[in-house]
Amino acid sequence: MIIKRSPTNKLKVFNDPVYGFIKIPNEFIFDIIEHPYFQRLRRIKQLGLTHLVYPGALHTRFHHALGAMHLTEHAIEILRYKGFEISDDEALSVIIASLLHDTGHGPFSHAMERSIVNNLSHEELSEIFMKKLNDKFSGKLDMAIAIFKNEYDKKFLHQLVAGQLDMDRLDYLNRDSYFTGVSEGVISYDRIIKMLFVANDNLVVEQKGIYSIEKFIVARRLMYWQVYLHKTVIAAERLIINILKRAKEIALNEDKISNSKYLNLFLKNNFGKKDFENDPEILDKFAKLDDFDFYAAFKEWAEHKDPILSLLCNNLLNRHLYKIELQTKPFKKSYIEKVKDIAISKFKIDENEVNYIVSTDITENHAYDNNIDNIFIIDKEGTLTDIANASDQLNISVLSTPVIKHYLCYPKSIRTELDK
C-alpha cells in the first residue's frame, strides 16, 4: 500500500551536522519557524566576526536555535520518564521558548547593542519579538512567554531555557566547538541531559553526572578564552563598535549614509525599549537587518569621504585588525595617553576623534556564577549540594570567580612607535 503524504505536511526533518536528524515536533512550531522573524536568523552568523580567527565559524543563529529546541525536547522526554509532570501544553511552550530565546539577536549582536540601539539587550528584544508573534498567533505563546520571563509556576521549565545549565549553553558549546574546531568545548550534552532531575522545583543533576558537569564548567571557561573572548575576536568586535559609532555620528549630519534604508533608520535614530514596544514598525524594520546589510555598508564606507570611517572599514574588510594588549590590571593613564598622542600625530586627527583609533575597556569570563541559579547535585538520599562544594576533582569555587581583563586596542602601525 502506498501512503500519500499531504502536500501541507509540516512535520519536517532537518539534517543537523551536530546531532544528525532534528525533527520539528509540532505543526505550530513549523509555522513559527516559517515566520520571517525566525527565518532572518539564517542570515545572521552565530559568532559574528569569530570567523576571522576560526574560518569555519560560519554557522548561523538559525542552526543554534534549532539545536536548543532539539535538546529541550530531549530533556522533557527524560524528565517525564523520571516521573515529573509536564503537560503537553507545558512541553510545547518550553520548546517554543527555547526555539525563540535568541530571536532578538541582530547582526554582530553584542557590538550592535553597544552602538546603534539604546541600551537594549538581545534578551529584551527576544521578549518583544515573542510578544509580537503571540499577537499574530492569537495568544498561543502566552505560556511560552511566561516561561521565558520566569513567571510560570514551574521554575525548572524556565531553567531549561535560561539558567546555568540550560539547553542554550549545552548547544552553543558543542556547536561552536564543532564549527571552530576547538575541541576543548566538546561536552557530554547527552549524558548531562540524562542526569537531569527536579528537586524543590529546581533543575538539578543526579550525583552520577557530577563529572560531566565539571567538564561542562571547564569547557565553558576554556571556550570563552579560546573563542568568545579570544584577543583577536575582541579586537575585531571593538573595530565594529567604533565603525558603527562613527557611522552613527556621521548619519546625524547626512541624509543618507547607507544604501540600506533599514540600517539608515537605526543609524539616524536612537531607539530604546519603549520605542520597540510602542511602534511595531520599528521592530519589523529591525527584523530586516542582517549580516548582508552591514557588510554592504562596510564596503560603501571604505570609500567614504570621512577618513576615519574609511580607514576603519578598510581595516575590517582587509583584516587589518587592531593590535590588542590584555592584562589583569588597568593600564596606566600615562601609557594610554602616550598611545593616543602617537595616534593623533600619525593619523592627523584631534582629541575628539582619537577614541575611534585607540580604545580601552574590560572583558569578563564567568564560567560559573554561584551567586545566581546554582547548579546543584542531588545524592541518593535527596541531599542537594552546590557543584562548587560537591566536586572532589576540581576547585569549582576557584572557577566560579570571574576573571576580569583590561584591554587596550590600537592600530598595529602604532606598535613600532611604542617600541622605539
Domain boundaries, the chain: 13-230+374-401, 235-271+297-363+407-419
pLDDT above 90 (res 113) = no
pLDDT above 80 (res 1) = no
Pick among 3.20.20.140, 1.10.10.10, 1.10.540.10, 1.20.1250.30: CATH of 235-271+297-363+407-419? 1.20.1250.30
pLDDT at 2: 44
27 — pLDDT class (breaks 50, 70, 90): very high
- Percent of the chain residues topping a pLDDT of 90: 82
The three-state secondary structure class of 26 is coil
Question: Can you tell me the mean pLDDT for 264-273?
Answer: 92
8/172 Cα distance (integer angstroms):
32
Digit-coded pLDDT (tens) for 371-389? 667 899 999 999 999 888 8
39 — pLDDT class (breaks 50, 70, 90): very high
The three-state secondary structure class of 378 is strand
Digit-coded pLDDT (tens) for 385-416? 988 888 766 666 666 677 899 999 999 999 88
Residues in Cβ contact with 233 at an 8 Å cutoff, skipping those fewer than 6 apart? 48, 49, 50, 52, 53, 227
Digit-coded pLDDT (tens) for 126-162? 999 999 999 999 999 999 999 999 999 999 999 999 9
pLDDT at 57: 97
What number of residues does the chain have?
420
According to CATH, the topology of domain 13-230+374-401 is Hypothetical protein af1432 (1.10.3210)
pLDDT at 11: 82
Question: Can you tell me the mean pLDDT for 32-55?
Answer: 97
- Within this chain, domains 13-230+374-401 and 235-271+297-363+407-419 share the same CATH topology: no
More confident residue, 168 or 115: 168
CA angle (331 as vertex; 328, 335 as ends), nearest 5: 150
Cell of 88: 503537553
Cell of 395: 576547585
Distances (CA, A) of 149 to 70, 131, 146, 200: 21, 11, 5, 19
Distances (CA, A) of 183 to 28, 173, 174, 180, 280: 36, 10, 9, 8, 43
pLDDT at 23: 94
Q: Which amino acid is at 232?
A: T
400/253 Cα distance (integer angstroms):
47
pLDDT at 3: 41
Mean pLDDT over all residues of the chain?
A: 92
- Residue 152, class by beta-carbon neighbours within 10 Å (0-12 exposed, 13-18 middle, 19+ buried)? buried
Question: Can you tell me the mean pLDDT for 71-85?
Answer: 98
Neighbours of 277 (CB within 10 A): 15
Residues in Cβ contact with 324 at an 8 Å cutoff, skipping those fewer than 6 apart? 231, 232, 234, 235, 238, 407, 408, 409
pTM score of the predicted model? 0.94
pLDDT above 60 (res 5) = no
Question: Can you tell me the mean pLDDT for 210-238?
Answer: 93
